[in-house]
Chains A and B, each alone.
Chain A
Amino acid sequence: MTRFRWVAALGAVALALVVQVSVFPHLAWHGIVPNLCLLVVVAAAMTVEAPFALGLGFAAGLLLDLAPPADHVAGRWALAFTVVAFLVARLRQDSRPNALTVVGTVAAASFVATSFFALTGVLLSDPAMSVTGLLEVVLVAVLWDVLLTPFVLPPLMKLFSRLSPQWAVQ
């Protein structure tokens, strides 16, 4: 069961990645697209146990770091997603999350992940970017992720709770 769960989760991440880099650029606003991989990680962290969510966060981040169009220093998204998965798993309540909680969590996770990624970029001076440019990127990314939440999060959370019923919140 756990092996099947990993396969399903990684499949969802791979699908999210392909849609994110190949389909959404046509709808992008100044090149900013919704971070679907992050949504998969948040859905896992809100539904199943923390170790799985952390591992999935690391794996999804690493995939985003290494998959073709990426050319930044590898490991930066892995670090950001691991931290976000930890925070979401830590802060989640023991009751079934309502719509507002889900949207709020996604907004916070998107903000933390994008800014964390940007901060590691500043530390490594990977690309030189202005602060206003970074702020614009972070805010638009949050908006995009929140916009897609109603369409992406419910099916993903249903998938994860069906794959691991013992952890699902009743």
Chain B
Amino acid sequence: MGAFGGQEGRERRWRGLDRLEARHRSPRSLLVALVLASITVITLDVSSGTRSPLEPVRRVVGEALGPAESVAAGAARPFTAVPTWLRRRSDLTDQVRELEASNAELRSKVELAGFERNRLEQYDGLTSAATDLGHALVPARVVAVGSRQSQSFTVTIDAGSTAGVGPDMTVVNNDGLVGRVLRVTRGTATVLLIIDPDSTVGGRVGSSMEIGFVHGSGSLDADAGLDLRLVDDASVPSREDTVVTWGSSSGPYAPGVPIGSITDVYSSLREASQRAVVKPFVDFSALDVVGVMVPSGTDSDRAIIEADGSLR
């Protein structure tokens, strides 16, 4: 009897173990295979740079998921506007005070406008930025934002190749430079923001016309700013100075687009160079409507804004 019971118990345990083992059998070979597959993908993407064999795959995934992202962003838009309705009286009073302050500031700027205009003419004469007005803007909205966990600062906009957008085009909003287009699908485009640590923009200091490079800081915080390094070690940029793109008509960034203003200047003795912190004009944590600079006369599926301000 006892022997029988023991056998039965063992039997049950055996079955139990079997079940346990089947479920917990660690699929080592599968793990190794998938890890190797991941490493292969990484190697393929890293070693071949811009001509990555994964670009077509990215494009296909983008074609499939881009419209879904546009739809989701459109569905979420009415709800994201709700917080702006619910504001307290004190908030509104604060806002009035802020607006009064900025109004006063603007008035003082207008009084200086003549001087500024003369200066602007000088700049334009020097950089011949004024001749480069052959650009039109394709309006677009941000529909998806890359997460900080992924460590790259990129957004998806809802204008793609059918809207006339192509790689390396400049993206701006009403405050200044936003970034450049990395890749496009039919209905969407991926934009690299200038705050991305990998982003480098040719910049020019407004008052001295000195050129340098503006690097992203990898932070959404406006105070963290961008990093400006001037080519000429001897020149010292001044604070409050505006930095604009230096750019070329063929390169990724169009010339003369405002980037930000200099807030701090450090001189590094070790590197014998000047380093300045540039506070971007664009608020990257609240990006919504942007414009992509396309050559004037581009065919587009939507109304595009021409250089003289007309809609076409």
Contacts and interface: CB of A to CB of B under 8 A. Distances in A.
Given A18-B68, A73-B45, A68 B150 contact: no
Interface in B124-161: 143-156
B38 A54 contact: no
B41 to A, nearest CB: 3
Interface string B81-121: 00000000000000000000000000000000000000000
Interface residues of A, number: 62
Contacts of A97: none
A71 B31 contact: no
B69 interface: yes
A79 B32 CA distance: 11
A49 B156 CA distance: 36
A77 interface: yes
B289 interface: no
Interface string A62-94: 111111111111111111001100100110001
A54 B34 contact: yes
Given A18-B68, A120-B42, A74 B149 contact: no
Contacts, number: 188
24 contacts: A21-B144, A23-B76, A25-B144, A31-B285, A32-B148, A49-B23, A50-B25, A50-B30, A51-B27, A65-B41, A68-B144, A72-B151, A76-B42, A79-B38, A82-B34, A94-B20, A117-B149, A117-B150, A128-B218, A133-B219, A137-B148, A137-B149, A141-B149, A167-B23
8 nearest A-B pairs in the assembled complex, by CB-CB distance: A75-B41, A79-B38, A25-B145, A75-B42, A69-B146, A22-B72, A21-B144, A31-B148
Interface of A: 14, 17-23, 25-26, 28, 30-33, 35, 49-51, 54-55, 57-58, 61-79, 82-83, 86, 89-90, 94, 114, 117-118, 120-121, 124, 126-129, 133, 137, 141, 167
